[in-house]
Structure formats: C-alpha cells, structure tokens
Structure 1
C-alpha cells in the first residue's frame, strides 16, 4: 500500500532511519504480507507461499530488525509464527516504525518547526493488534511547533476495515461520520495515523465533509523537521 498509494511515506521512513544512523536495506521481490488472503479465509493459500517467501527473502538480508510503516503489514508479519511455527526468530525482529523509534532508538529531531495542531487516530491493527498506542503519540508530542490534541474515541474504528468500506459503504460511512465528528471536536489541522487504509478512509470522510484537514503518518511529520538541512 505504501509503495503504490503513498510512496512519500516510504521515502520519509528511509530518511528518518538513516538520520538515526540505521542502514536501510530494501530487498526486492518481497510479496504482500498475506493479510487479504487471511481475511478472506485463504489460510491454506497464504501459508506455503507468502509468509515462507517473505521470511526467506527478508532474513537473507541479515537484518537486526524488520521495520514496517503499515499497521496491517506489521501486525501480520508479527504473527507469521502462527502460520509457520519455525518463524519465531523472524517475528521477534519485527517492529512498527513508531515502536522501533521509541523503544529501540533515541528520537533525533530536526530544527524546522511544524506549526500545526494535530490529533491521532489509533488504527485497529496497530492499537488492538500490536498494542502500539503510546509511541506514535510520543513522536507527535516531540515534534517542534506541533500542538497535539487527543480526540474523543481515538481508538474507535474509522469504518475502513479493508474492503468493508466498499462492500458495506452505507454502514462504513456512518462509522466514518462519527470519526469525523470526533476529529472536528478538537479542531486540528492534521490527523496522524499509522495505517494507510485508515488514511484513505479518513481522507474520504474529510472530503465528504468539506474540511481543510490533512492526513499524515507520524513519520512524515517527523521527517518534515529535517527539511532545513
């Protein structure tokens, strides 16, 4: 999703990691994490190919850590050992990017101010799936010039839920409208979220309501602090 829909996030993540003295290796031919197959009951189809293929390809790069900028992908990678028991060594290396920066590194900030009011939406796959909630907020609160405001029901689903927003659009829209009301209540300039699917869904809701609010991954905002050099 990052590669096809929001490549600027991928560039931001690489920039941030390199500024934290990390060597970033991106193996070619890594396949989908397998979430769509698993969500539609394709356990047998996903097990022999996707996890096995990705595990081999990523471990062949001999990484110390495996970092994902997509909440859904990260959550699935962390559960590969449920599909392939011998994958435990692999799953122990997997981190969400916000989790990795806060838990394993000391956040390095640039000098440029990001003068805006931001709130944060907890994606289901990051908060409920991985238990990563404090780390993205810590990153946002550390960004110079950024004012953070917690919205009500920040961890309530935005209604995206993969293809649910397409197959059940009317119900999805009602869920999304509640999320937009909660966002509006704190009057932000920016909504931050760690899930590209949530980003698309919230952007759709913002457009429907005619709001001048932008949606970013927390790492994109952190990367903006380096723009002065």
Structure 2
C-alpha cells in the first residue's frame, strides 16, 4: 500500500511538471510575439492606435529588443519621423545605449551610412567599375571616405551580412574606399562567405593585408595561386 502511494505520487508529479513546462513555453512564445508586435506598432508612421493600446496596457516605452534597441532606436534607424515625434512626446528616453554602444540618435547615423553603402554599391558593375551615376557615385564615395570610423565599420559589416545578393559589391566598394581599419572586417567576410572571385579581388587589389588573407583562404580551400602579367583591375585599394 505504501509503495503504491509513492509510485502514484511520482507519476502525478511528472505529469504536473510536463504541464507546467508546456504552459511556460507557450507563454514565452506569446510574450515574444507580443514584444515584436509592440515594436512594429511603435515605429508605425501611419497608425498610432495599436501603439496606444500597448502603452495603455502597461508596455514600457523603453522596452528593449534582443539587440538592446528601444522603439526610439528603431524609429530613428528606419527614418520613421512621425513615430519618433510620438515616442519623444510620450517620454521615450533619448540617452539609452544599445549593444552596439549607440544612442537612438547614433542609430539614425548608422542607418544613413548603411543606406549609403547599399545604394553606392548598386552603382558598381560585377567587374568593379562604376556603371551608373558617375558624379553621384563620386559624391557618395567621398562621403563614405569621410564617415566616422565608429559608424562606418559596423555599417559595413551589417550591410554585407544583411544583403547576401549584393554582398560582393558591398565588399568591392569597401575595398575601393580603402578605409583604415576595414581590412580586418573584410577578411572576416572572406572567411565567412568568401569564394574564388572574392579571393581574387583581394589578391589583386593592392592591399597587403587583404592579399595575405586571400592567400591563406586559397590554401585552406585547395587553390593554387598563379601570378602573371596583365592589365590592372578596376578594384584597387583606396581608389575610386
């Protein structure tokens, strides 16, 4: 009798444990969905109704996402002017720092440089020459050359990671910009997503650091490097 009682209790305990775990998991997923919905509503430039409902139900204005961004970080990054005004009017904190070390105002600058990198890379053809808008491309090129390193480096990495279809042209643009301290992130991009074409770009661009990195990449992937004379390629370190 005593043994039967112990076994039954253990069985009930296991059943209860399973139920609790499942309920908690479902609640966690729901909270995640609600948080994503909150950020979507908070940066909506056209309709504030959903955002107002979230705030009135107790959501904090300075709720963070997984990257440490508040709604104000995201609204400024995405150029949602009306949402920015609404958030500031409600008292959103303009001084909070995300995981990149950026305030909301900093995220506006980061977003601007990311868009500039992307739009300028689109003006290149696959050979690395300028295919479109020569004067406009030159202006963007010069602005990116002057960009503060604190913003340029994360903008380069994020833009290349987030745009796989344009990744090579973004990297080619970065090579042509020839910014100091950008060689390490460029080598990391080669390591993570490199191919033969990108390695050849690095080998022929005139940067010793990128050349050495491309040589290591080639050896580790079973390629043999052949050197011979020829015309200079358009993808050169620090040259428009």
Same fold (TM over 0.5): no
* Structure with greater contact order relative to length (CA < 8 Å, sep ≥ 6): 1
TM-score relative to the length of structure 2: 0.31
TM-score relative to the length of structure 1: 0.32
Structure with the higher strand share, 1 or 2: 1
Structure with the higher helix share, 1 or 2: 2
Compare CA radii of gyration and give the structure with the larger one: 2
